[in-house]
Structure 1
């Protein structure tokens, strides 16, 4: 059986679409369709059921994917690591959200790079949760850090840590907020105050308002910047209120650059997961990175 056909098959199985698989493989959609048909003729059974929005595997397709995918991943590992037994340097391709990856994940993994040529070379990509999981499934990454737990058997997720969210503002804004009114009236005490966010949809503020105040924010973003570190900088500069992960603004809180406006009994949390392709935890670079991050995360909560 042609390995190229199997690679295309596994990519389609993971992507759930001929179109997405073609983009990931750098092929045309007709070429992907032709390869899958060739493989189906060789197997003698249909491997996918075509639907309006993508494809779903048949039982035979699922069985073939589970048998073939780990071996294809292992071949990729051999190809990337080379055949020189004198060198044990391996490359780990990692994907995750920019702020958490930069502030938490990469510093923890630096210990694995080593100084004697016996460590792991790191290659990081900043991705949204969906992008990271899609790239992992397609074989572009070895390990993903994601706030979304993947579905299906091809990806395996392990809870890493919980991120606590807090409502903060610069001291001059905090001085304008009546603490008693905030405790008793909730979100109404914050109406008409400017908000700093990562997106126009106010994902962090909306989650906090719903969880803590059982309400929706009645404002739009005064400043929208697609990076939580930029949100913190703008909040420190006095642009308005923000909901931020506690780990990201601990230093600013200790210096008095920002003030925590509210301390709910149960603060909103967001869980991070370590995600790998099922079966690849047997690969040494993935195993070492996975274990390293789990140890480091014990001090992050």
Structure 2
């Protein structure tokens, strides 16, 4: 099998777009399209379904990506590192939304730091971090929605479930009653997500307490300051201890998919491959 065809296929699979894959590879879109058609003819399967915006992989494409992805990444990393020794690579610069720092990023990084990996972490909102990634200020970022930016490819890691929680004194819960709400920002990003998804409504009140850190929101909820919407992995320990309770338990809770987004050739270096593989391994146990 022609490695160039597989490399192009993997770029399209990860980018979800022929146009973005072409930009990543430094090829024209017609060249990428022609290579995908050639590969489809050789494997005898349709690999992508064309959509109004981008492409969607078929089951055959997902199987092929799982089979060839690790090997192509390893080859790319060897080629990259041969040209750029580890000492010249500098630290890996990672972006991470606040909701994922403690639950996903730090558990993934711990063994890599023990092995000598140097890391610089930037926190912030997902869309701001993707902007920094596109500008070259980050090598990789976690994102709570799939980035649609040229030159950036993203793969899904896990689904992040959200829970409406509060101290036991706020039970029983009445969503129509006045209840102090705690969130990261005054526009209530997490509360709005929950109310829209579960109740198909807007939050009943403004934020009573704004803390620009999810750990702080968690501590405030445990302290009885009001209700908060938190990622389930972040509040699991408090729920098990009984310091927090579920104020509501919908049959289908709000869920957002977490992606790992990478940029350009730096994404194929050995340190970046190690970080991505560790993130995938940790996310599998959420």
Tell me what 2:6 maps to. Answer: none
Distance 2:101 2:156 in 1: 15
Matches within 5 A, 1:148-227: 148-174=145-171, 176-177=172-173, 187-188=175-176, 191-227=177-213
TM-score (norm 2): 0.68
Q: Report SS of the residue matched to 2:158.
A: strand
Structure 1 residue corresponding to 2:251, chosen from 256, 262, 265: 265
* The one of 40, 48, 67 aligned to 2:26: 67
The residue correspondences of 1:48-127 to structure 2 (distance < 5 A) are 66-67=25-26, 78=84, 81-82=87-88, 91-115=91-115, 119-127=116-124
- Aligned equivalents of 2:178, 2:143: Cα separation in 1: 33
Helix, strand or coil: the match of 1:120?
coil
Where 1:144 maps in the other structure, the secondary structure is strand
Unaligned runs of 5+ in 1: 1-58, 83-88
Q: Distance in 2 between matches of 1:213 and 1:136?
A: 35
Q: RCO greater where, 1 or 2, for CA within 8 Å and sep 6 or more? A: 2
Runs of 4 or more consecutive aligned structure 1 residues displaced over 6 Å after TM superposition: 62-65
- What's 1:23 paired with? none
Q: How many residues were matched structurally?
A: 215
Q: Secondary structure of 1:150's partner?
A: coil
1:147 CA displacement? 1.0
Deviations 1:1-50 (A, max 9, x none): xxxxxxxxxxxxxxxxxxxxxxxxxxxxxxxxxxxxxxxxxxxxxxxxxx
Structure possessing the higher radius of gyration over alpha carbons: 1
TM-score, structure 1 normalization: 0.65
- For the residue of structure 1 that corresponds to 2:273, the secondary structure is helix
C-alpha distance 170-114 of structure 1, shift in aligned 2 (>3 A): closer
Q: Which runs of 5+ in 2 are unaligned?
A: 1-18, 28-75
SS in 1 for 2:258: strand
